[in-house]
């Protein structure tokens, strides 16, 4: 039975739900932070280094849903408990054209915590330039003094600089402002989904990162490495900072079966059966977000029940892909292009794993073209390449990917 039909049928008649179900409110609460002890330790070590006056940059990378944002926000709690400032500057896929958007968010928050006397001490040219990004610094003369207020706007037309010289002046002002603020209190700036940031924001990141070593500053950039083209500006920036030995890379991997079970127990507030943990791990490949959405979907559909003291599954047949997971997979596959997605859709008919020779016989493309498409799929981590002796074969990264492609194939028939 289709799960959506099951939901409509059974949830409309509560008396049909004989076995206990999970309280929905419990699944909406933020659950226990699972795994990532090693990554947390690395971030804390870098933070203490920055707090001591040797600034640093860290790049947290991984696929969508693997837990990059959660990792850094958990770290942010530690930063704030240590008496430092934690600022967030997210980027959004459809707002990449907005210049300096993540920096504006971070600086606006910083200004709210900056004492009036400290703003008064800033040089007027710095106020004018920072005012290009956050005009509120220019609007209250009593905060910066009449002289500063009058001089600030004269140095800033409130239009973003177009020349290289004007851009460098803006970058210098931001660097000076951040450096001055961090001298009083260490600052961590979290640029989330920085791969979606606009070109100017990335240039400013590069500028600040190259001058961060002398300040109590830490910048963390999180991005989806599997979706980042080699010719993307962020790729060039990370490579340059690697050469300069400024940046630290923190790759985030999927969960193993044990970690998935711990995640489910945290969500369900109690023990789970081994079969439930193994099933969810198999269905999601260890992607934490996928696992969370699957367990939420199973609860919504009334498919979870208590067996003794453990949560288990009533019926494992026809487990649907949650809408939120489908949206991520749609986004990831769209970037590969129609030819690659069509090839993978045919491969999904073969099974979770497939041999290139078999795939080649059932597709129309040339061997060279098909191999290039498969290589793109491997780079995107939708498919893994496996080797056993002389045999080379391919495996879908998880059942959600394969099922999504199968469903797509059904819809196009």
Say if CB 43 and CB 220 are below 8 A apart.
Answer: yes
- Give the torsion sign (CA, 320, 325, 331, 336): negative
Q: How far apart are CA 173 and CA 152, in angstroms?
A: 12
Say if CB 161 and CB 135 are below 8 A apart.
Answer: no
Element (H, E) at 344: helix 338-350
**Residue spans of beta strands (DSSP E) within 277-321:** 304-307, 310-313
- Judge: domain 37-251, CATH 3.40.50.300: yes
The whole-number mean pLDDT for each consecutive block of 10 residues of the chain, a chain of 413 residues, reads 33 35 40 86 98 97 94 97 97 76 95 84 88 79 44 47 86 96 96 95 97 97 91 95 95 95 92 94 92 90 89 78 89 90 93 90 83 92 89 91 90 73
pLDDT tens-digit readout, 298-337 = 888 888 999 889 999 887 666 778 888 999 999 889 889 9
* Cβ burial, residue 155 (10 Å; 0-12/13-18/19+): middle
Unique residue bearing structure tokens 């980042």: 228
Domain ranges of the chain: 3-20+256-313, 37-251, 334-412
pLDDT tens-digit readout, 142-168 = 444 444 444 444 443 446 777 888 999
Q: How far apart are CA 59 and CA 252, in angstroms?
A: 10
Closest CA to 245 of 209, 279, 207: 209
Fold of 334-412: Arc Repressor Mutant, subunit A (1.10.10)
């Amino acid at each position: 039975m289709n799960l959506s039909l099951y939901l409509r049928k059974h949830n409309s008649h509560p008396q049909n739900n004989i076995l206990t179900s999970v309280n929905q409110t419990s699944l909406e609460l933020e659950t226990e932070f699972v795994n990532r002890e090693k990554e947390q330790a690395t971030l804390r070590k870098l933070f203490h280094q920055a707090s001591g006056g040797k600034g640093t940059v860290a790049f947290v990378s991984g696929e969508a849903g693997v837990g990059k944002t959660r990792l850094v926000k958990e770290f942010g709690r530690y930063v704030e408990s240590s008496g430092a400032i934690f600022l967030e500057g997210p980027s959004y896929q459809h707002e990449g054209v907005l210049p300096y958007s993540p920096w504006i968010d971070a600086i606006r928050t910083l200004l709210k915590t900056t004492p009036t006397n400290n703003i008064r001490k800033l040089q007027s040219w710095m106020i004018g330039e920072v005012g290009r990004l956050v005009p509120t610094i220019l609007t209250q003369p009593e905060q910066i003094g009449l002289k500063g207020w009058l001089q600030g706007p004269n140095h800033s037309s409130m239009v973003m600089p177009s020349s290289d010289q004007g851009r460098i002046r803006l970058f210098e002002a931001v660097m000076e402002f951040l450096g001055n603020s961090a001298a009083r209190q260490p600052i961590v700036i979290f640029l989330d989904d920085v791969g979606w940031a606009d070109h100017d924001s990335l240039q400013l990141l590069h500028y600040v990162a190259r001058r961060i070593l002398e300040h109590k500053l830490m910048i963390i950039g999180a991005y989806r490495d599997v979706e980042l083209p080699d010719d993307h500006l962020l790729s060039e920036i990370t490579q340059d900072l690697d050469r300069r030995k400024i940046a630290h890379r923190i790759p985030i991997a999927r969960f193993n079966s044990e970690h998935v079970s711990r995640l489910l127990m945290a969500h369900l507030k109690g023990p789970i059966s081994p079969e439930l943990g193994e099933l969810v791990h198999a269905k999601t490949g260890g992607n934490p977000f996928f696992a969370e959405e699957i367990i939420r979907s199973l609860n919504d559909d009334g498919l979870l029940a208590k067996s003794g003291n453990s949560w288990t599954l009533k019926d494992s047949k026809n487990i649907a892909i949650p809408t939120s997971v489908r949206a991520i997979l749609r986004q990831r596959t769209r970037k590969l292009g129609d030819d690659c997605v069509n090839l993978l859709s045919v491969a999904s008919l073969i099974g979770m794993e497939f041999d290139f020779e078999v795939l080649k016989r059932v597709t129309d493309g040339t061997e060279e073209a098909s191999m290039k498409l498969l290589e793109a799929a491997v780079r995107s981590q939708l498919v893994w390449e496996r080797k056993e002796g002389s045999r080379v074969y391919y495996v879908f990264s998880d059942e959600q990917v394969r099922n999504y492609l199968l469903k797509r194939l059904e819809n196009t028939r």
